[in-house]
Amino acid sequence: MTAELFSNLAIFVLSLLVGVEVIGKIPSTLHTPMMSGSNAIHGVVIAGAVATVTLAHSPLGYVLTFLAAALAAANVFGGYVVTDRMLEMFTRHAPAAASDPKDPS
Amino acid sequence: MTAELFSNLAIFVLSLLVGVEVIGKIPSTLHTPMMSGSNAIHGVVIAGAVATVTLAHSPLGYVLTFLAAALAAANVFGGYVVTDRMLEMFTRHAPAAASDPKDPS
Amino acid sequence: MTTFDFAVGVVYLAASTLFVVGLHLMRLPSSARRGNLISAGGMVVAVLATVVFSLHESGGSWIGWLALLFGAALGAAFGIARARTVKMTDIPQLVSIFNAVGGGAAAAVAFADFVQHTTGTALGLDSSIPIVLDVVIGSITFSGSLIAAGKLQGIISGSPITFPGARLVNVLAIIVALAAGVFAITVGNDVWLLAAVLVASLLFGVLLVLPIGGADAPVIVSLLNALTGLAVAMAGFAIDNQALIIAGALVGAAGTILTLQMAKAMNRSVAAIVLGGFGTGDSKSSAAPDAQDLSNVHQVSADDVAVQLAYAQQVIVVPGYGLAAAQAQHEVAELAKLLMTHGIDVKYAIHPVAGRMPGHMNVLLAEANVPYEQMLQLDEANVAFDNCDVALVVGANDVYNPDARKPGNPVSGMPILDVDHAKSVVILKRSMRPGYAGISNPLFTDPKTGMYFADAKVGLAAITAAVKEYVTA
Amino acid sequence: MTTFDFAVGVVYLAASTLFVVGLHLMRLPSSARRGNLISAGGMVVAVLATVVFSLHESGGSWIGWLALLFGAALGAAFGIARARTVKMTDIPQLVSIFNAVGGGAAAAVAFADFVQHTTGTALGLDSSIPIVLDVVIGSITFSGSLIAAGKLQGIISGSPITFPGARLVNVLAIIVALAAGVFAITVGNDVWLLAAVLVASLLFGVLLVLPIGGADAPVIVSLLNALTGLAVAMAGFAIDNQALIIAGALVGAAGTILTLQMAKAMNRSVAAIVLGGFGTGDSKSSAAPDAQDLSNVHQVSADDVAVQLAYAQQVIVVPGYGLAAAQAQHEVAELAKLLMTHGIDVKYAIHPVAGRMPGHMNVLLAEANVPYEQMLQLDEANVAFDNCDVALVVGANDVYNPDARKPGNPVSGMPILDVDHAKSVVILKRSMRPGYAGISNPLFTDPKTGMYFADAKVGLAAITAAVKEYVTA
Ligand SMILES: NC(=O)c1ccc[n+]([C@@H]2O[C@H](COP(=O)([O-])OP(=O)(O)OC[C@H]3O[C@@H](n4cnc5c(N)ncnc54)[C@H](OP(=O)(O)O)[C@@H]3O)[C@@H](O)[C@H]2O)c1
Ligand SMILES: NC(=O)c1ccc[n+]([C@@H]2O[C@H](COP(=O)([O-])OP(=O)(O)OC[C@H]3O[C@@H](n4cnc5c(N)ncnc54)[C@H](OP(=O)(O)O)[C@@H]3O)[C@@H](O)[C@H]2O)c1
């Protein structure tokens, strides 16, 4: 059992806790944007794709790097753009919501 | 810069984030219990006191261990007991609150 | 750990903090957009740090970098193009596709790590286990999400698909995945073992989602979103990258909570949904019942409705799935504008689960530039119905079904819009067919209800025309 | 890292999760108590794990263990005794004392670690820096919390204490702490250096809290609570103990958020409070103004009040700091019961910052067994005042000061109870003296107001007696 593993495990567990708490109770209106917003965040796997470059030395390795990069890029770019487009519509008329009574922050 | 330090730093930062998110918006009625409840949690320093035993080899070391243990024990035992006493009063008539509309969970 | 690695790690922590702040701000409509941008900022930071890191490691060959760049360019182009052009109401299926690619990418990363080790150093349990888990979860989300997207898009039938022996195949897939996985972990370093895990998991993912009703798909998409997060976290363990672990776990947990909240709003249990079968999503399939029984149904024409509306002071529009299906948001907005120019107060009553995705109606009406103030949420709306002259229901069915107040039926206990409190009700839909829940609505045959059978788009246009006529005449 | 250490670490993670779940549940009155117990469970787990760990390390001598046991026993006895016997309204000062001891313990742990290294291996920056930070923060919270407790208890005058040259001493203390700290980190391993840091920080803590008004003390206590958490986290860095790091950071962050929310409820800025000076806490000091001007004040007697109440249908009691100061919660509850037995509807209007600690009134009235249903929060109360016959204000002043609606005074913008909407008002206090904010309340001289000058306890008893008399006669 390496110290590195424990470190990563602790980071994992604490991040789970943050994830549980950060959502709070959100109005169902925001369920879809929230879903697509968090979807964009797991596009961070593109960083993983970048890291795999250092591992790729065989044709198969290159193919996998290419695959990982393509798929991840689609996720991260598409995810943020579509979320922004959606929220742009939501917030267009939203000043009212600024004084949202059940502010969960 | 040791890996151990980074690990602890990451744990620290993530725990801060959990702390920020876990509070949410609480009714001012609960400010005092929440304060005293979190106060009890930093009584965990008693674990630190226990750990220092393994470091204590000089009279000064023993004195410090004694001090740490006494102070920490007062914090942790007193903290939990008083919080429970207070909440016991709050919850005595609280069934109503069970259906609290602005449930922050 | 070198000082350099340390620095990269610290940057990762900063990026992760931005993700959290972003998600936090997304809990309020007013700050949501800013939140998303902040999270995007975190993403830029994380990726740049990784690029610097990889260059510094300099283990990669120029071919690898080329493959990366080409791949990224292609993916980015595809993602942005789809995101720019997608219809607002098709967002769930797009999110589902992004889940698929995300899961696929995670699996690919783990695979790459595994492959490299077959040629290089042997694998310790602490990387072989996450690798296998990553491939399993990643593949399931990949195939599962594609199926879910297909159902939402209507390419695959929304009704639950089951075939004899499905269970058996399922069990086989699981066994294969398990066996191959265990071997890959213990024996290790054989690409074919991992490939077997991959294939079996892909198959399992398909069989997992096929039997689920299309109307439940949004919930499944949300669930797969959480799973993708976990897959990414596993990839992080495999290649010891903290950014992946933190962000992945973050999405995994947040996505799970979100899924539970969604299911709750639809008063369905996630378990029930995953087991599938009840919701069908397209009303036709559940049409058979009293579809023809038009006795004691009071049918009305566009003109009748127009007159009724023209004489009203307070009109509340109740939009439902049908409005989305017919893409009639602009027509309804136009009608509302027209009425308001003649001093009639028009509001929209938005049920949290009206339509087929959470916030479906808000997205639609926002697209048609309906101002926020006019959209009443459940509680406000139910107050307003008490002195409402005409409730105009457009392509809705379950969200105001009074039977929800009675026990023992699919909608029992679901909070509903009290349309039946309005002085008079007009229901615009194509037929007597029920909706998602598959049960008829007693209001159809209520004396104060007029049924106007038409497609929502066509029907609303007709009503608008009739009103224009009537008021100018 | 041995498998054993790994296991201990995992147990720590489990304990930390229990802390988080506990805090989460404490956000609702209904689940708060369970939450505290769960958090206590986490504490037991964390401590047991550490005991096992230390025994396994077996570096300690039996003397050390004895010292630990004796210390723990003593501390536990003290803590439990105080916690069992403390008056509910004295809780802030007790919490403050627990902050003090917590901070002291953290400092002691760091000190012990440092001492051991002076005899043993040299210190790396990654432990010397947290050690110094721990001693600094720990000492500040220790001395600062004791002063705050003294102010709340009234041992130390609640009014801001400043003396010529205080600033200078402050600056000196900071310089000494810094210098000694830097030396301790760089040169290292000299106990006297750390001792200097300790003393200077203690001094700084005292000078930090002395100038703060007693009424602001609750906020300062909450702030020091957060600081103590940070000190504990630093101790965790020093001795590489994750339980301390996680729990400490958790409290540090949560405590900070809590402090901000408290200050907001009192519409004060934390900065303003730390700079101190405005709130004095005991009304006497700010008495000087119109204290004697009793012209156009309509004074009433216990009997007048009794008659007024007896004829009322809807009475609302507005408790304030004075009720707590006079410990009159039982008297007010008794009066309310009496009135209700004669069919008069009595409610309590609870302002979020009535009294001197958050939730002060709820604690008091709960102690007197007033059922939850009878306590109206701000908004409900302000609806109720519109058809309230008599508003009976007991020892309150700022929380219903109509001037809050006007700009340019200490209470401007603070949400208030609309006592002035009641048909008639009775204000029970000892004099015309203002309260915490130090400004008089125009309602005192309002025609529909009757002022009954008396100590809350005495006055309420008198009213109760008078009512009894009146209704039986
Ligand atoms: N919002 C979500 O997240 C979500 C997700 C999954 C499931 N659901 C469920 O979906 C349901 C939503 O209730 P709802 O009242 O909005 O919809 P509904 O109960 O499903 O009823 C929709 C109605 O619209 C009519 N319709 C369909 N196409 C139409 C068209 N082109 N023109 C006019 N009418 C048309 C259909 O009747 P005809 O065929 O006779 O026209 C159908 O009865 C709830 O049961 C909810 O639990 C919601
Ligand atoms: N709740 C919190 O967390 C908190 C914390 C710090 C500060 N504050 C501040 O404290 C204030 C609370 O408002 P408040 O109306 O409750 O209290 P207040 O405005 O401070 O007024 C209290 C009044 O009670 C009277 N009083 C004192 N002792 C009494 C006794 N033995 N019998 C009868 N009356 C007595 C005093 O007048 P006499 O001397 O004439 O009797 C005084 O005017 C707000 O300004 C709030 O911002 C609140």
**Cβ(C22) to ligand 1 under 6 A?**
no
Tell me how far apart the alpha carbons of residues A43 and D405 are, in angstroms, rounded to a whole number.
Answer: 50
**Per residue, what are the HEC states of D71-110?**
HHHHHHHHHHHHHHHCCHHHHHHHHHHHHHHHHHHHHHHH
> In this structure, are residues D191 and D118 in contact, taking their beta carbons and an 8 Å threshold?
yes
Residue type, C190: D
> Which of these is catalytic: C113, C398, C420, C446?
C398
> In this structure, are residues C170 and C204 in contact, taking their beta carbons and an 8 Å threshold?
yes
In the predicted structure, residue B95 carries a pLDDT above the cut 50: no
**Cβ(C357) to ligand 1 under 6 A?**
yes
User: Chain D residues with CB inside 8 Å of A3's CB?
Assistant: 1
Ligand 2: centre distance to CA C358 (Å): 48
Q: Which pLDDT value is given to residue D280?
A: 39
How confident is the model over C122-144, as pLDDT tens digits? 677 888 899 999 999 999 999 99
Q: What is the DSSP letter of D59?
A: -
Concatenate the DSSP letters of all residues of C91-127 into one string: HHHHHHHHHHHHHHHHHHHHHHHHHHHHHSSPPPHHH
Under 8 Å CB pairs connecting chains B and D tally to 432
Q: Which pLDDT value is given to residue A65?
A: 94
Q: Which pLDDT value is given to residue C29?
A: 81
- Closest C-alpha among D244, D142, D260 to residue D199: D142
> In this structure, are residues A89 and C88 in contact, taking their beta carbons and an 8 Å threshold?
yes
Residue identifier of the C-alpha nearest atom 46 of ligand 2:
D353
Q: Which pLDDT value is given to residue C58?
A: 72
With CA atoms as reference, the chain D residue closest to B54 would be: D60
Q: Which pLDDT value is given to residue D72?
A: 97
Q: Which helix (H) or strand (E) holds C452?
A: strand C449-453
What stretches of C210-319 show up as alpha helix (H) in DSSP?
217-239, 242-265, 270-275, 302-311
Q: Which of B6, B13, B17 sits opposite C6 (nearest CB)?
A: B6
Residue D206 CB partners (closer than 8 Å, separation 6+): D143, D144, D147
User: Chain B residues with CB inside 8 Å of D59's CB?
Assistant: 53-55
With CA atoms as reference, the chain A residue closest to D261 would be: A105
Nearest CA distance, A10 vs chain D (angstrom): 7
C-alpha dist (Å) from residue D105 to D60, D75, D81, D91 = 19, 11, 19, 21
User: Chain D residues with CB inside 8 Å of B98's CB?
Assistant: 30
Q: Which pLDDT value is given to residue C251?
A: 97
Residue type, D23: L
C-alpha dist (Å) from residue C8 to C21, C251, C288 = 20, 22, 62
Tell me how far apart the alpha carbons of residues D278 and D268 are, in angstroms, rounded to a whole number.
Answer: 10
Which phi and psi angles does C87 have, rounded to 5°?
A: -70, 140
**Cβ(C360) to ligand 1 under 6 A?**
yes
Q: Which pLDDT value is given to residue C176?
A: 92
Asked if the Cβ–Cβ distance from A3 to B6 is below 8 Å, we say: no
Ligand 1: centre distance to CA C397 (Å): 6
In the predicted structure, residue C184 carries a pLDDT above the cut 90: no
- Closest ligand to C-alpha of residue C321 is 1
**Cβ(C398) to ligand 1 under 6 A?**
yes
Structure tokens at C402: 């009074």
- Closest ligand to C-alpha of residue C261 is 1
Burial class (CB in 10 A: 0-12, 13-18, 19+), C70: middle
Which phi and psi angles does C351 have, rounded to 5°?
A: -85, 140
Q: How many CA atoms lie within 13 A of D417 on its CB side?
A: 33
C-alpha dist (Å) from residue D318 to D371, D444, D449 = 16, 14, 14
**Cβ(C268) to ligand 1 under 6 A?**
no
Q: CA D379: distance to chain centroid? A: 24
For chain D, which chains pass the contact test of at least 3 CB pairs under 8 Å?
Answer: A, B
With CA atoms as reference, the chain D residue closest to B87 would be: D33
User: Mean of the pLDDT values across residues B4-10?
Assistant: 94
Q: Which pLDDT value is given to residue A47?
A: 97
In the predicted structure, residue C346 carries a pLDDT above the cut 80: yes
Ligand 2: centre distance to CA D261 (Å): 20
- Closest ligand to C-alpha of residue D258 is 2
What stretches of D214-328 show up as alpha helix (H) in DSSP?
217-239, 242-265, 270-275, 302-311, 321-325
> In this structure, are residues D9 and A6 in contact, taking their beta carbons and an 8 Å threshold?
yes
Q: Which pLDDT value is given to residue C292?
A: 54
- Closest C-alpha among C43, C79, C52, C127 to residue A45: C43
Q: Which of D37, D79, D109 sits opposite B77 (nearest CB)?
A: D79
> In this structure, are residues A70 and C75 in contact, taking their beta carbons and an 8 Å threshold?
yes
With CA atoms as reference, the chain C residue closest to B1 would be: C3
Touching check for B102 and chain D: CB below 8 Å?
A: no
Give me the percent of chain A exceeding a pLDDT of 70: 84
Confidence of residue A97 (pLDDT cuts 50, 70, 90): very low
Confidence of residue C69 (pLDDT cuts 50, 70, 90): very high
User: Chain A residues with CB inside 8 Å of D253's CB?
Assistant: none
Tell me how far apart the alpha carbons of residues B17 and D426 are, in angstroms, rounded to a whole number.
Answer: 48
Give me the percent of chain C exceeding a pLDDT of 90: 61
Q: Which of D106, D111, D257 sits opposite B23 (nearest CB)?
A: D257
Q: How does strand D390-394 pair with strand D375-377? A: unpaired
Q: CA D453: distance to chain centroid? A: 29
**Cβ(C117) to ligand 1 under 6 A?**
no
Question: What stretches of D312-468 adopt beta strand conformation (E)?
Answer: 314-319, 345-350, 375-377, 390-394, 424-429, 449-453
> In this structure, are residues D379 and B101 in contact, taking their beta carbons and an 8 Å threshold?
no
- Closest C-alpha among D221, D226, D249, D222 to residue D236: D249
Touching check for B8 and chain D: CB below 8 Å?
A: yes
How confident is the model over B11-44, as pLDDT tens digits? 999 999 999 999 887 777 788 889 999 999 999 9
Residue type, C366: A
Confidence of residue C188 (pLDDT cuts 50, 70, 90): low
How confident is the model over C408-440, as pLDDT tens digits? 777 777 889 999 999 999 999 999 998 887 888
Q: CA D368: distance to chain centroid? A: 21
Q: Which pLDDT value is given to residue D120?
A: 54
Q: Which pLDDT value is given to residue C293?
A: 66
Residue identifier of the C-alpha nearest atom 41 of ligand 2:
D430
**Cβ(D204) to ligand 2 under 6 A?**
no
Asked if the Cβ–Cβ distance from C246 to B14 is below 8 Å, we say: yes
Per the annotation, the verdict on C403 as an active-site residue is: no
Ligand 2: centre distance to CA D271 (Å): 22
> In this structure, are residues C45 and C19 in contact, taking their beta carbons and an 8 Å threshold?
no
Among A8, A9, A14, the strongest candidate for a mutation testing the B interface, having the largest count of B CBs within 10 A, is: A14
Asked if the Cβ–Cβ distance from A35 to C232 is below 8 Å, we say: no
C159 or D13: which leads in pLDDT: D13
User: Which ligand 1 atom minimizes the distance to the CA of C351?
Assistant: 16
Low-confidence ranges of chain D (pLDDT < 70): 59, 118-122, 188, 276-293, 473
How confident is the model over C198-225, as pLDDT tens digits? 999 999 999 999 988 777 788 899 999 9
Q: How many CB atoms lie within 10 A of CB D170?
A: 16
Block residue for tokens 């709750």:
C264
Among D34, D68, D234, the strongest candidate for a mutation testing the B interface, having the largest count of B CBs within 10 A, is: D68
Q: Which pLDDT value is given to residue D353?
A: 82
C-alpha dist (Å) from residue B65 to B55, C376, D330 = 9, 63, 45
Q: How many CB atoms lie within 10 A of CB C278?
A: 17
Touching check for A6 and chain D: CB below 8 Å?
A: yes
Q: How many CB atoms lie within 10 A of CB C178?
A: 14
Confidence of residue C99 (pLDDT cuts 50, 70, 90): very high
**D88, D348, D364, D398, best to mutate for ligand 2 pocket (most atoms within 8 Å of CB):** D398
In the predicted structure, residue B64 carries a pLDDT above the cut 50: yes
Tell me how far apart the alpha carbons of residues C442 and C436 are, in angstroms, rounded to a whole number.
Answer: 16
C384 or C91: which leads in pLDDT: C384
Helix (H, G, I), strand (E, B) or coil at C67: helix
Query: In chain B, positions 15-34, which contact chain D (CB-CB < 8 Å)?
Result: 15-20, 22-34
**Cβ(C255) to ligand 1 under 6 A?**
no
Q: Which pLDDT value is given to residue D293?
A: 66
**D283, D299, D321, best to mutate for ligand 2 pocket (most atoms within 8 Å of CB):** D321
Q: CA D394: distance to chain centroid? A: 22
Asked if the Cβ–Cβ distance from C244 to A97 is below 8 Å, we say: no
Residue type, B68: A
User: Mean of the pLDDT values across residues C315-319?
Assistant: 97
Which phi and psi angles does D72 have, rounded to 5°?
A: -60, -45
Structure tokens at D436: 């915490």
> Which of these is catalytic: D113, D282, D398, D418?
D398
Concatenate the DSSP letters of all residues of B23-79 into one string: H-S--GGGHHHHHHHHHHHGGGHHHHHHHHGGG--SHHHHHHHHHHHHHHHHHHHHH
Nearest CA distance, A58 vs chain B (angstrom): 31
Tell me how far apart the alpha carbons of residues B49 and D105 are, in angstroms, rounded to a whole number.
Answer: 8
For chain A, which chains pass the contact test of at least 3 CB pairs under 8 Å?
Answer: B, C, D
Residue identifier of the C-alpha nearest atom 41 of ligand 1:
C430
> In this structure, are residues C351 and C376 in contact, taking their beta carbons and an 8 Å threshold?
no
C-alpha dist (Å) from residue C465 to B59, C306, C473, D221 = 96, 9, 12, 68
